[in-house]
Amino acid sequence: MVEMGDYGRIEDFIALAKEGKTVNLTVELGKKLVSQNVPPGVTEDMKDEVGMYLLIADYFFKIEKDMKLVSKVYILGSSEESPDAFKVNKSIANARLSMDYERLKDAKITFEEKYF
């Protein structure tokens, strides 16, 4: 039996799959809005907080009856950026996500691929 509390990274589950364990996976993607505190600036027109967003993948790994959530941030961006800048960030996040998907598939972990 595998003690799931010891595993917190995608790499841990890839290693288990390569050892022959059956690893099931469900992926959920999301955009989380956060605010980042800004240190006091030189000019008075700077805000104390900046609106930011995170593009996050939640990986739900299941081995036998145990399930473990591993969340990974793929990009951090400003909520005030232009639509074109968001498209670029989304493209970068999807490229990074695709690299993780390839590593998971190489370990024979099956799942449905989703993109931001």
pLDDT, tens digit, 9 for 90 and up, residues 77-115: 998 899 999 999 999 999 999 999 999 999 999 999 999
The residue type of 17 is A
Task: Answer whether residue 2 shows pLDDT above 60.
Answer: no
Closest C-alpha among 62, 60, 91 to residue 74: 91
What is the reported pLDDT for 78? 92
Q: Residues 6-46: pLDDT tens digits?
A: 788 999 999 999 999 999 999 999 999 988 676 666 555 55
Report the pLDDT value the prediction gives residue 35, as an integer from 0 to 100: 83
Residue 41 has a pLDDT of 61
Q: Which residues pair with 56 in a beta bridge?
A: 30, 73
In angstroms, rounded to a whole number, what is the distance separating the alpha carbons of residues 67 and 100? 19
